[in-house]
Amino acid sequence: MTKTGAAYHHGDLRAALVRAALELLEESGASELSLRGVARRAGVAPSAPYRHYPDRDALLSAVAAVGYRELTEKLATAHPSPSTPDDLAAVAVAYVEFARQRPALFRVMFGGPCDRDSSERAAATAAVSAYVGAIAERAFPQGDKEALSTAIWALVHGLAFLHLDGKLDSSDPSGVASRVRTSVHALIAASASLAAFADAEPMGRQSEDGSLRSSPRPRNP
């Protein structure tokens, strides 16, 4: 009971609300998601959702969780196990494409201070994180896995957001894709040439020891 599958008066309103919310996000393209609007869409009184979600944020978290799952699917489809720069670029393109194709959902997923209480949301986030971490480990076997995964995620995530916010032109999909590819490749290449300058110390394993004379400790939380 109270479980997801149960069907009382309405027939699993809990799931119907998430579905309605996703539809509204898809249609209105960008704007805010009103709980009353979702209820209206589901053909139910404005107070009905409160039987299933404590507040608007909880519903949004459920919606975000669906978004995380669909995002991981899309990334896996783009490339199941990326290891070359081209593979990485393909996954990056898929990530940004997701943000561009479903901007409203993407904003629900990443736009606001998220509900740390939603275990559903936390789990879905962890899945994305794990996927990115796996990529990092495969692509850069000799690096600090956690640092690399966050760096890669950040690069891709930032590209997605800058396009979404109009800081980078995203009118032409293929243009966006090529820009993402170029960015990834360019950063890799340029980093290589820069590293050549700074190779007083050996590259590729200095996450633990001497670093680059800059940061005395690598992490700590």
Partner DNA sequence: GTGTAATGTAAGCACCGTTCACATGGTAGA
Partner DNA sequence: TCTACCATGTGAACGGTGCTTACATTACAC
- Picking from 160, 157, 53, 38, the residue whose alpha carbon sits closest to that of residue 102 is 160
Distance between CA 148 and CA 106 in Å, rounded? Answer: 23
Q: Which of 18, 19, 20, 55 binds DNA (CB under 7 A)?
A: 55
Q: Kindly indicate which of the ranges 7-15, 102-110, 151-159, 191-199 contains the residues binding DNA, using the contact rule CB under 7 A.
A: 7-15
Distance between CA 122 and CA 18 in Å, rounded? Answer: 17
Total site size for DNA, rule CB under 7 A:
26
Asked if 73 touches a second copy (CB under 8 A), the answer is no
Cα 186 to chain centroid distance, Å, stands at 22
Asked if 79 touches a second copy (CB under 8 A), the answer is yes
Distance between CA 117 and CA 115 in Å, rounded? Answer: 5
Tokens of 129: 């994180």
Asked if 117 touches DNA (CB under 7 A), the answer is no
Q: Which of 15, 48, 122, 168 binds DNA (CB under 7 A)?
A: 48
Tokens of 191: 């980093």
Residues 120 and 45 sit within 8 Å (Cβ to Cβ) = no
Distances (CA, A) of 112 to 21, 63, 155: 17, 13, 19
Q: Kindly indicate which of the ranges 17-25, 34-42, 44-52, 104-112 contains the residues binding a second copy, using the contact rule CB under 8 A.
A: 104-112
Asked if 97 touches DNA (CB under 7 A), the answer is no
- Picking from 162, 152, 144, 218, the residue whose alpha carbon sits closest to that of residue 191 is 152
Instruction: Tell the smallest beta-carbon distance from residue 100 to DNA (Å).
Output: 25
Asked if 6 touches DNA (CB under 7 A), the answer is yes
Q: Which of 23, 46, 186, 187 binds DNA (CB under 7 A)?
A: 46
Residue 120 region by backbone torsions, left for phi larger than 0, else alpha for psi between -120 and 50, else beta = alpha
Q: Which is nearer to a second copy, 52 or 102 (CB)?
A: 102
Tokens of 140: 């850069």
Residue 43 region by backbone torsions, left for phi larger than 0, else alpha for psi between -120 and 50, else beta = left
Instruction: Tell the smallest beta-carbon distance from residue 34 to DNA (Å).
Output: 4
Q: Which of 94, 105, 124, 135 binds a second copy (CB under 8 A)?
A: 94
Q: Enumerate residues 148-167 that contact a second copy by CB under 8 A.
A: 148, 150-159, 161-162, 164-167
Asked if 37 touches DNA (CB under 7 A), the answer is yes
Q: Which positions touch DNA (CB under 7 A)?
A: 1-2, 6-11, 13, 33-37, 44-48, 50-52, 54-57
